[in-house]
Amino acid sequence: MLTPGAGPGLAEAFFQHIDFSGGAVAAVSGGSDSIALLVLLKHHLDRAFPAAPLLAVTVDHALRPGSGAEAAGVAAFCAARGIPHRIMVWRGEKPAQGLPAAAREARYRLLAEAAAQSGIAAIATGHTADDQAETVLMRQARGGGDGRGLAGMAPATLYDGRIWIVRPLLGVRRAALRAMLRGEGIAWAEDPTNVDKTFERPRTRAALAADEGKLHAALALAESSARARLDLGLRAAALIRANAGLPCAGLMRLAPAFAAVPDREAAIYALRILLATAGGTRFLPDQRAATALLEGIGAGPVRATLSRAVADSRRSGIFLHREGRGLPPASRVSGGSIWDGRRRITFGDAVASAVIAPLGAAAAAASTAEVAGIARSLVRRALAAEPVPRGAPGPAPSGLETIAGFAALPVAAPFLHFLSCLDLAPAGAVAALIGAAAIPPPPLRGHFGPRPCAEA
């Protein structure tokens, strides 16, 4: 355990802004950063939240022959300190390309599974200032994008709309954590992939090790970019709340004045968010394409498609809805599944799954649904892309059936999988617009470390 002189100060400095009253899953690989996280977190919970559960979880990616032994080593470390521990194995085939990204996806999925099974409210990871600098430099080297990614990793990220991942050590250097562990006589494992320059991150890590100034510059860039991202999100959220409405399911309407708002940067960002939500796409549309679209809307009537969404501007407003192409075919869907990136399908207790399909143009045309002030053609096109239960798969709109408890709950695709706390304002505005579930507040008190997080 930490010595009385070192432990309280360090632990309180890192964790005092985080509410761990619901417990924590600590992601522990066995490396220095995660071992330090676990030791400090155990010390903090014992003092501040003695009744809160702590579970250490090691994800064995099964990518190297020795990974199982390393996970077992973490289990032994935890057992010696009375910390519950689980090993979650990434099973199945591994992709030939994009392995680091796939491994990261699997890691968060398995950590979330462990947290849900244990009834724990938050996941803590050991990402450090060194990791942050690496992330920013890698994103900067790739170029493109809109600059939001230069904010690096957020202090807190909502995963899958249900559990917050917190990163308490983003303001701490790896060397300081290792010095603390050495002072306590605690060893750690070295992952050979961390020095394998076949991968981008180890190459970036080596470059930073040779240039301390570059690291500090990267962290300064992350800081300024995070503040700019937070500010832009707040401005975009205000525009969404002031200009956007939902005349019927699947159809958004922006006030005609939206095309001429003075804050062009925020208007373009808001439009990108709404297009991705209407189209059910995880990533926002290209900024240049969205800029051109907004300029076109300002010049006169436009009907264009971007990110699977149709933007139809008329004198009565700017309307956004899912395009009719590329909709999911009729297929069996289980309860809780995300359909077309736009709806979470649920059923009553007696039904586990059912065949779901788009309503279709023919059935929508036969609908008597009308919305005052909105062209019937717009309403029908939006409704045609909405999910309904069917008696059997097939292209025809016949065979629609009623299932007790069936609901297609709206979700905001660009914020569904990973939601940075820096994006809480626009995510909250979109959730309120489409009637999505409320976003659970992050377990952060006020400001966290060097950067603020928007309040929900």
Residue-wise pLDDT for 323-379, tens only, equals: 999 999 999 999 999 999 999 999 988 788 899 999 999 999 888 778 888 999 999
Residue-wise pLDDT for 26-37, tens only, equals: 999 999 999 999
**Average pLDDT of the chain, as a whole number:** 90
pTM of the predicted protein model: 0.90
Give the per-residue pLDDT at 211: 83
Residue 65 has pLDDT above 90, yes or no: no
Q: Domains plus CATH for the chain?
A: 7-210 (3.40.50.620), 331-410 (no CATH)
Give the per-residue pLDDT at 297: 95
Mean pLDDT of 317-322: 98
Give the per-residue pLDDT at 194: 65
Give the per-residue pLDDT at 7: 46
Mean pLDDT of 233-261: 97
Residue-wise pLDDT for 158-207, tens only, equals: 999 999 999 999 999 999 999 999 999 999 998 766 666 666 778 888 88
Residue 2 has pLDDT above 70, yes or no: no
Query: Which of left, alpha, beta for 437 (phi over 0: left; psi -120 to 50: alpha)?
Result: beta
Give the per-residue pLDDT at 195: 61
Give the per-residue pLDDT at 159: 97
Residue 397 has pLDDT above 70, yes or no: no
Give the per-residue pLDDT at 401: 66
